[in-house]
Chain A
Amino acid sequence: MGALLRVRAVAAKEFWVLLRQPQLLLLLLAGPVLIMVAFALSFEVDRAKPRAVVVVEPGSEGEELFERFQDRFTVRTRFQGTVQSVEQADQMLRNDETDAAIILPPDPSESVRRGEQAVLEVRYSSINPIYGTTVPNRANGLVLDLNQALVREGIARELEDAGTAREAIEDLDRQLARVNEAAESLATPEAQAATSELDSTLAELEQTLEVLALVESGEGEEDVDRSLEQTRQAREQLAELQEAQEGGAPSVKDRIGLTELEQQVGLLQEQVSEIPFDVPPRVLANPFRLDLENLAPYEPDALGFYTPATLALLIQHIALSLASLAIVRERLSGAYELFEVSPLGLGELLVGKFLTYAGLVFGVNLAVAAVLVGTLEVQVLGGFLRLAVAMMLLTLASLAAGFLLSTLSRSQLQAIQIAMLMFIASGFFAGFLFPLDQLGQPARSFAYLLPATYGIQALQDVMIRGQWPAWTDFLGFALIFAISLAVARHLMGRKKV
């Protein structure tokens, strides 16, 4: 009984304490739900299609081909239009204004005539081993589709052009029919009877002629010999016929249609010889071949790819958590009042905290990066200077955001809670789990408020692409830093009313 009362007391106390912090409850419940809803609203399957430009030479066969099969290019991409030069397309790829450049050869027929597949080149720039296969996959599909369409269209055209061949085939058909007819009739029993009758008549004639030849000599002898010869030939032929008759219609057919068939075959062969026999069938069936080129300097494995993003999330989270407690803790403990009464300026307070936190976060994460490079052989293509600069900028922006968070928080628990939510939101929206460009609104706008969004891009640029972060990322860091600090400073400076 006593235990029950005590448990009830604790439960009731917890209930009221929680209820007294409506913002905290709201954050606890609504925060994750909001993130999931924003994610569901923003994740667009259509955005999984890569953006693409097509490079064609104006007036070329390539352009004509593109216009003829345009739908096949546009259905599997977010088609952005055509450009005229490869350089222009490369520039767009480098500036991340497009995901793929499809380069059509100016004269594909020429290659085919030479017996070679025409090359459809697709350039892209991806370092993502998981989502980076979108362009290659879709490029393969495009080439397959294009080849099928070309072959199908080719057969249809051949059929139209092939009037002579069709006539020849029809001729052949007719002849065959005639041969068939004849063969059928010769093979009937009546015909066989007639033939054997003819044979016996010829046999009698032969015997008579033989007797005549023995009896008669002189002038009439030559005629008789010739007639006997003819009769024997006729009998030989008849024997063959009879033999064929016994074998049925097909054997007859053999004998009757042969000559004409031979003629027809000769004609067909002549026509077939116009087709270019030195083009291999592989080329005829697949006139296009895909040539993929990834402009990214190196395609890392999953570990290499996720290391920069993980580091970015880690930096943001540590910095944000540390800084988010900085002000609220002092305010709650009362130390803040001591600061207010002392000559310490708010700017000095912030800078002082900044120095230590920045050094700590920066040092810890640089050490983490060094361990990754040393033990897991993760690459830092851009070198440690670039890495240090990018990490420092991310640290500063995250700390500034954390200070703002700290001035807004009513309690330490609330501050921690918001920091945690920011961490989860960053996983979803900052380009960690899904590439940023697969997200629509409202997540897109939200993503640009997170330091990690710029951090992931910047660290990927440095570690995988081996280059300085984009100026847009520098701008993002600078804006978050300046605006957060200005607002935090303003909120802190406000007298308690």
Chain B
Amino acid sequence: MPVIQVKRLVRDFGPDRVLKGLDLTVEEGEIFGLIGPSGAGKSTLMRVLTGYLEPTEGEVAVFDRAPTTFVSADRRRIGFMPQSFVLYGGLSVRQNLNFVAGLYGLSFLRRRRRVRETLEFVELWDARRKTAARTSGGMQRRLQLAAAIVHEPALIFVDEPTANLDPILRRKFWDEFKLLRDNGHTIFVTTQYVGEAELCDRVGLLSNGRIIAAGTPDELRRQAFDGEVIELTLAGDPGHTGTQLEALENVGHVVEVREERDGDGPVSRARLVVDDADVVLPKVFETLNGADIRSADVLNPSFDEVFFRLVRNE
């Protein structure tokens, strides 16, 4: 049963339509990444899902309930990390987390235990007495994440947790998400870093108010290129290799042929789009029997490229 189910969601701000009929499903226990350019409506969608904003049209169900009708038992199952630091700069790290734990009604003993566990989890325990305003941006972000998970919610919304962080800290955040996921939490995370899609279990691409593609990273890649891509490099003069490549049309679809020279003479680089590279690759060697194959690799295109193609195809 999906944790989040959205159908034909529309959200307007005055005359501006930000979400234009959006469908989305998030399953229990997965990291769902919502990827989209700035201003696409990622935060808006998240606010609708948490019940902060009302949908203009469409159906939204989180835990099988419209978020605007959440009761406090529902809210206790949800954690939320906003895009910016909204806690209190004047309070210490631990006071801040204590406050949030209190908001979720954690009893004294559980609060003590969870505050410590959570601060240790985000590696802020040593900085617990520091005034929040005097901690670094990355520490504030981690404190904000701690605030989203201190009450052990089943579903965690994280809005651009890694924006403007260094690669090492970004990696740490994703490691933490994976840990949480492995402990049974469902994570709904937005990001502008397309590359981070690779780290999600499933990804939705939000563009111009719609989910233009959704699935596992592999599925998206396949969708971007209509299949998998094998990159071939053949040596020989262009006329000869051209005939050889034409022969490949019965095992796949040849795209992007480029003629180049390397140290030994002319080479042709070509991309072959196929349904299943593992099945097709032996056939490629068979078909090209006798050709001077310099290399044949299953291409793993960067997600930037995938994203770019999907948006362009739209």
Contacts and interface: CB of A to CB of B under 8 A. Distances in A.
A333 B83 CA distance: 12
B173 interface: no
A1 interface: no
B156 to A, nearest CB: 11
Contact of B86 (A333, A343, A344, A495): A333
A496 B53 contact: yes
A371 interface: no
A337 interface: yes
Interface stretch (B73-81, B184-192, B252-260): B73-81
B215 interface: no
A340 B67 CA distance: 11
Contacts of A339: 103
B86 A342 contact: no
Contacts of A344: 103
Contacts, number: 49
Contacts of A345: 72
Nearest to A334: B86
Contact of B75 (A334, A337, A341, A497): A341
Q: Per DSSP, are chain B's interface residues mostly helix, strand or loop, or mixed?
A: mixed
Contacts of A340: 50-52
B47 interface: yes
Given A343-B75, A343-B104, A495-B68, A338 B51 contact: no
B84 A334 contact: yes
A335 interface: yes
A339 B52 CA distance: 10
B266 interface: no
A10 B296 CA distance: 61
Contacts of A335: 86-88
Nearest to B79: A341
B54 interface: yes
A337 B86 contact: yes
A384 to B, nearest CB: 34
B90 to A, nearest CB: 12
B100 interface: yes
Interface in B59-118: 68, 72-73, 75-76, 78, 80, 82, 84, 86-88, 100, 103-105
A467 to B, nearest CB: 43
Contacts of A343: 72-73, 75-76, 103-105
A337 B54 contact: no
B78 A341 contact: yes
Contacts of B50: 340-341
Interface string B180-204: 0000000000000000000000000
A361 to B, nearest CB: 20
A322 to B, nearest CB: 15
A330 to B, nearest CB: 9
B147 interface: yes
A344 B104 CA distance: 7
Nearest to B73: A343
A338 to B, nearest CB: 6
A338 B53 contact: no
Contacts of A337: 47, 52, 80, 82, 86
Nearest to A336: B86
Nearest to A340: B52
Chain A CB count within 10 A is highest, among B52, B72, B80, B157, for: B52
Contacts of B87: 335
Given A337-B47, A343-B105, A495 B76 contact: no
Chain B CB count within 10 A is highest, among A337, A338, A345, for: A338
Contacts of B52: 337, 340-341, 496
Interface in A342-369: 342-345
Nearest to B75: A343
29 contacts: A333-B86, A334-B82, A334-B84, A334-B86, A335-B86, A335-B88, A337-B47, A337-B52, A337-B86, A338-B80, A338-B100, A338-B103, A340-B51, A341-B50, A341-B52, A341-B80, A342-B75, A342-B80, A342-B104, A343-B72, A343-B76, A343-B103, A343-B105, A345-B72, A495-B53, A495-B54, A495-B68, A496-B53, A497-B54
Interface of B: 47, 50-54, 68, 72-73, 75-76, 78, 80, 82, 84, 86-88, 100, 103-105, 147, 157
Ranked nearest first, the 6 interchain pairs of A and B with the lowest CB-CB distance are A343-B72, A334-B86, A343-B75, A341-B80, A342-B103, A335-B86
